């Protein structure tokens, strides 16, 4: 299977940063990543700007992108109204997200899971009105910060609910980074079994150091796309204990998608250094030490001076 990467720096990656990234830099980053060959970009969110100020300018970013660029750009939404507003701005790729656990859905979106499921047909209709694609994104697919482990039956119930059918893809999210490869394999395989018509995406975090291993397990179970953020930025402000995403650089080095040769990898590492530095955040990409090594110049993946 050919594996693709979606970079989520501009949404999930910015949610816990102390400094904002200017709109113009966001637009330039989208274009830099697309030019490298990164297949998909998550460019922002329709979340309330007072709750997640880092993404308040999402529609300003969208306004500066071309229709061709927007075909590879996804926006996080949680209600049909979010879809309508984003669609009016030119968005055609929507990630409709809610949590498998009621407690996190209330903290994150302000309603229980059933309410979010009940609204999904209207969200699908709004996306279809602009010939768009809408993903079913299931946060806390493994664990919840308030309820602990989420039973796999809860995930099965969501996947089997006819109101969630019609999505272009299913996104299985390890929101807290507490999953392990066996659990990832099991739950992604369940999504593949229940939704054979949909693409599969795995959204992982590296909180417990298993981010890359979990991504590999997801690919083995059928995921065709995995999410990552530059420098391992990210985390959910409504999920205590969540930390950064699996880094895009680590995923590129390990999964070797078609675009990720040594030159593109070097540019990706430098982008991660630049973005994290401008935000005064640490660069948590695990490949960084090796890529910058002065003693491994014979290895072509080492950044050459």
Is residue 232 within 8 A of residue 244, CB to CB? The reply is: yes
User: Which residues face 228 on adjacent strands?
Assistant: 7
Give the active site residue among 97, 137, 173, 236: 236
Residue entry with tokens 């309820």 = 147
Rounded to whole angstroms, the Cα distance separating 201 from 170 reads: 6
Task: Copy the structure tokens of residue 136.
Answer: 């079913």
Rg (CA), the chain: 18
**Distance, first Cα to last Cα, the chain:** 34
Rounded to whole angstroms, the Cα distance separating 265 from 33 reads: 11
Rounded to whole angstroms, the Cα distance separating 83 from 117 reads: 15
H/E element holding 119?
helix 113-128
Instruction: Assess whether 137 carries a catalytic annotation.
Output: no
Residue entry with tokens 């309508």 = 84
Is residue 251 within 8 A of residue 228, CB to CB? The reply is: yes
Q: What is the DSSP string of 187-254?
A: HHHHHHHH-TTSEEEEE-B-TTS-HHHHHHHHHHTT-SEEEEBGGG----TTSTT--PBPBHHHHHHH
Tell me the torsion sign for CA atoms 239, 80, 246, 266.
Answer: negative
Query: Catalytic residue positions?
Result: 236
């Amino acid at each position: 299977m050919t594996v693709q990467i979606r970079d989520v720096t501009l949404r999930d990656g910015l949610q816990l940063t102390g400094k904002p990234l200017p709109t113009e830099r966001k637009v330039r980053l989208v274009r830099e990543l697309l030019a490298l060959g990164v297949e998909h970009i998550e460019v922002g969110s329709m979340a309330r700007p007072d709750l997640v100020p880092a993404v308040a300018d999402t529609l300003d970013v969208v306004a500066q992108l071309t229709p061709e660029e927007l075909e590879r750009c996804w926006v996080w939404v949680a209600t049909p109204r979010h879809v309508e507003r984003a669609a009016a701005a030119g968005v055609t790729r929507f990630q409709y997200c809610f949590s498998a656990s009621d407690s996190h859905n209330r903290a994150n979106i302000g309603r229980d899971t059933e309410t979010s499921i009940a609204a999904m047909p209207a969200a699908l209709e709004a996306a279809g009105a602009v010939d768009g694609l809408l993903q079913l994104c299931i946060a806390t697919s493994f664990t919840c910060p308030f309820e602990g482990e989420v039973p796999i039956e809860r995930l099965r119930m969501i996947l089997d609910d006819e109101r969630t059918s019609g999505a272009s893809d299913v996104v299985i999210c390890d929101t807290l980074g507490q999953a392990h490869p066996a659990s990832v394999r099991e739950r992604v395989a369940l999504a593949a079994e229940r939704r054979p018509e949909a693409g599969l995406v795995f959204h992982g975090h590296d909180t417990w150091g298993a981010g890359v291993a979990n991504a590999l397990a997801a690919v083995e179970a059928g995921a065709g796309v995995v999410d990552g953020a530059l420098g391992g930025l990210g985390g959910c402000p409504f999920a205590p204990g969540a930390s950064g995403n699996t880094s895009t650089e680590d995923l590129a080095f390990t999964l070797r998608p078609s675009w990720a040769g040594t030159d593109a990898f070097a540019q990706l590492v430098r982008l991660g250094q630049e973005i994290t530095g401008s935000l005064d955040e640490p660069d948590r990409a695990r490949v960084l030490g090796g890529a910058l090594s002065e003693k491994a110049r014979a290895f072509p993946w080492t950044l050459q001076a």
